[in-house]
Amino acid sequence: MQELNIQKTTETNEALYDLLLLADPSKEIVDEYLVRGECYTAWASDELAGIYVLLKTRPQTIEIVNIAVKESLQNRGFGKKLVKDAIEKARQSGADTIEIGTGNSSIHQLSLYQKCGFRLQAIDHDFFIRHYDEEIFENGIQCRDMVRLYLDLS
C-alpha cells in the first residue's frame, strides 16, 4: 500500500479547505476547528491525500473533529491510516480518551471508526437539524442525529 506522510500544518489554502469541507459542509464550523484545533495533512508522494483536525475538548479528552480523504483516493486504506495516526497522536499527548462524532446516515464512517476500535457512546438527537441550514441525505437516509463514539486510551 502507498505510504502516507502525515505532518502538522498551520497553513490554510483552497486545497485544504476542499478536503475539510468534504467532512463538514459548514465553513464557519471548519474555521472554528482550525482556530481551536491542530490540523494534520497527509501526503501520498507529493499529492495532498487527506486531512484531520484534533481538538482538546475536555481535560484528557481529544476529539477528531474533521477527517477526510480526497475523493479520488478513497477506499484504499488511507482513511484507516489517518484514524490510527490520530489515535496515536492523542495517546502520545497523554489523553485518556479520544472521541469522534458522525451522522446516523454515515454508514461507511461508522464502520471505519468501529474497525479502528471506537465504541458507541451516545446519540445527540437532532444535532444536524439544529446546526445545519440544509437537509443532509446520505445512503438514502436523512442525517439528523450525531452518533458519538469514543476510544479509551488508558
Q: Identify the residue among 41, 104, 105, 106 touching ligand COA (CB under 6 A).
A: 106
Of all residues in the shown chain, the one whose CB is closest to ligand COA is 79
- CA distances in angstroms from 12 to 18, 72, 95, 96, 144, listed in the order given: 11, 21, 26, 29, 30
Does 10 contact ligand COA by CB under 6 A?
no
Q: Identify the residue among 41, 53, 54, 79 touching ligand COA (CB under 6 A).
A: 79
Q: Measured from the CB of residue 64, what is the shortest distance to ligand COA in angstroms?
A: 8
Find the part of the chain contacting ligand COA (CB under 6 A) among 29-37, 38-46, 89-97, 106-114. 106-114
Does 75 contact ligand COA by CB under 6 A?
yes
| 46 backbone dihedrals φ, ψ, rounded to 5° | -100, 10
Does 67 contact ligand COA by CB under 6 A?
yes
Which of these, 120, 4, 142, lies nearest to 73 by C-alpha position? 4
- Of 19 and 153, which has the nearer Cβ to ligand COA? 19
Q: Measured from the CB of residue 72, what is the shortest distance to ligand COA in angstroms?
A: 11
98, 150 contact by CB (below 8 A): yes
- Of 94 and 130, which has the nearer Cβ to ligand COA? 130
Contacts of 79 (CB under 8 A, 6+ apart): 50, 67, 69, 112
Q: Identify the residue among 112, 143, 147, 153 touching ligand COA (CB under 6 A).
A: 112
25, 18 contact by CB (below 8 A): no
- CA distances in angstroms from 95 to 9, 13, 82, 92, listed in the order given: 21, 29, 18, 8
